[in-house]
Amino acid sequence: MPNEVSFLSPITLFSKLSPYELAVIASRLKQQSFRSGEVIFEQGERGDAMFIIRSGRVRIFSQDESGQELTLNVYETGEFFGEFSIIDGEPRSASAEAVEPIDAMVLRSQDLIAILGDHPEIAISLLRGLVLRLRYTTGYAEDLAFLSVNGRVASRVLELMERHGVSRDDGIQIGVPITIPQLAGLTVAPPEIVQRILDFYVLGGILARDGDRLTVCDPAALRERVAMYRHKQLT
């Protein structure tokens, strides 16, 4: 139990909970594993659980009627997904696939209901955590709606750096591999355009690429680029 409590405490959804409240949540969690490439849940199916990643990475994606996939996000150790369906009971709005082997902690909707019935004060703390996720979703939607392709690529690379960055002598390496098709999905842009934009940043010394690994060599310049694109959005 202490291990679960210490693991949960920095996670956004649970960061506003007290140690006692975290222990209550931890007591209801179940362990579950998924193979690399395994679909954890599918868009449109009923959701009765949320997942907290202990190790591995998960890709969240949507699919249109023709089967075209759009990558919405990639989550890794210490992040969570699938939370909305256990609250509103609506079908899943996207699918989730294990990018690599996953060890997860699972909170079922009936367990969440039991927790909130016995400890209603926890609801307020959870809502504060959910608001942080909603703010991110709102910002992501605004970027897609208002930023140019260049701005969307710069913004997503900056976000990946801030979420997964590992400091190195040559800059900040994004700690998860990201392919051109995945970044194209995150930015809703053609892969060939994303490739050209990344090549431009590499030539400018802002980024370095080694296969699917991206390193931000000049974080200040990348932040300036994103700020410039957002300023143009407002003018």
Q: What is the pLDDT of residue 4?
A: 84
What does the block give as tokens for 159? 């976000």
Residue 198: domain span: 147-234
- Residue predicted with more confidence, 220 or 185: 220
Please indicate, yes or no, whether residues 19 and 117 belong to a single structural domain of this protein: yes
Q: Which residue has the tokens 């970044």?
A: 183
Q: What is the pLDDT of residue 73?
A: 83
Please indicate, yes or no, whether residues 59 and 97 belong to a single structural domain of this protein: yes
Please indicate, yes or no, whether residues 95 and 160 belong to a single structural domain of this protein: no
Domain termination site, one of 90, 118, 142:
142
Please indicate, yes or no, whether residues 91 and 171 belong to a single structural domain of this protein: no
| 208 has pLDDT over 70 | yes
Please indicate, yes or no, whether residues 25 and 124 belong to a single structural domain of this protein: yes
Please indicate, yes or no, whether residues 116 and 156 belong to a single structural domain of this protein: no
* CATH for 218: 1.10.10.10
Q: What is the pLDDT of residue 139?
A: 78
Summarised one tens digit per residue, pLDDT across range 31-51 is 999 999 999 999 999 888 999
C-alpha 39/C-alpha 46 separation (Å) is 14
Please indicate, yes or no, whether residues 101 and 166 belong to a single structural domain of this protein: no
Q: What is the pLDDT of residue 88?
A: 78
Is the distance from CB of 211 to CB of 133 less than 8 angstroms? Answer: no
C-alpha 143/C-alpha 146 separation (Å) is 5
Count of domains for the chain: 2
Please indicate, yes or no, whether residues 132 and 186 belong to a single structural domain of this protein: no
Global pTM?
0.74
Contacts 24+ apart (CB under 8 A), 154-158: 154/197, 154/201, 154/222, 154/225, 154/226, 154/229, 155/226, 155/229, 155/230, 156/183, 156/186, 156/187, 157/183, 157/201, 157/207, 157/214, 157/216, 157/222, 158/216, 158/222, 158/223, 158/226
Summarised one tens digit per residue, pLDDT across range 177-202 is 888 988 998 898 899 999 999 999 99
C-alpha 180/C-alpha 98 separation (Å) is 18
Summarised one tens digit per residue, pLDDT across range 148-179 is 999 999 999 998 999 888 999 999 999 888 88
